[in-house]
Amino acid sequence: MKKALALFLIAFPFWLGAEIYTLRFDGPIDPILEEYAVNSLRDIRQRGNARLVIIEMDTPGGFDTSMRSIIKAMLNVGVPVAAYVSPKGARAASAGFFILLAADIAAMAPGTNTGAAHPVSVTGSDIEKTMKEKVTNDAVSYVKALAKNHGRDMEMAGKAVSESRSYTSEECLKGGMIDLVAGDVKDLITRLQGKSVSLAGGKEITLDLHGETIIPLAMSERQKFLRTITNPSLAYFLLIFGLIGLYLEFTHPGVVIPGILGGISLLLAFLAFQVLPINYVGLFLILLSIGFFIAEIKVQGFGVLGVGGIISFVLGSIMLINSPIPEMRPAMPMIITFAFCFACIFMFLTWKVFQAMKRRKETGAEGIIGETGTARTDIDSRQGKVFVHGEWWNAVADEPVPSGTRVRIEAIDNLVLKVKKIGG
Q: What is the pLDDT of residues 33-71, one digit of tens each?
A: 999 999 999 999 998 889 999 999 999 988 889 999 999
Whether 296 shows a pLDDT value over 60: the answer reads yes
Query: In this prediction, what percent of the chain has a pLDDT beyond 70?
Result: 85
Whether 16 shows a pLDDT value over 60: the answer reads no
Domain ranges of the chain: 17-222, 230-358, 366-421
- Mean pLDDT (the chain, rounded): 83
CB-CB contact of 60 with 30 (8 Å): no
Give the helix ranges, DSSP H, for 48-94.
Answer: 64-75
All residues at 6 or more sequence positions from 411 whose CB lies less than 8 Å from its CB, including other chains? 369, 417, 418
Give the helix ranges, DSSP H, for 274-378.
Answer: 280-299, 304-320, 332-358
Q: CA-based Rg of the chain, rounded to a whole angstrom?
A: 37
223-243 average pLDDT score: 88
112-122 average pLDDT score: 81
Task: Quickly state the pLDDT bin for 248 (edges 50, 70, 90).
Answer: confident
Whether 17-222 shares its CATH topology with 366-421 is answered no
Whether 122 shows a pLDDT value over 60: the answer reads no
Residue-wise pLDDT for 194-223, tens only, equals 999 888 777 888 998 888 889 999 999 999
Query: In this prediction, what percent of the chain has a pLDDT beyond 90?
Result: 36
Peptide bond just before 258 cis, omega within 30 deg: no
Task: Quickly state the pLDDT bin for 409 (edges 50, 70, 90).
Answer: confident
- Domain 17-222 class in CATH: alpha beta
Regarding the domain delimited by 366-421, which CATH topology (the fold level of the hierarchy) does it fall under?
OB fold (Dihydrolipoamide Acetyltransferase, E2P) (2.40.50)
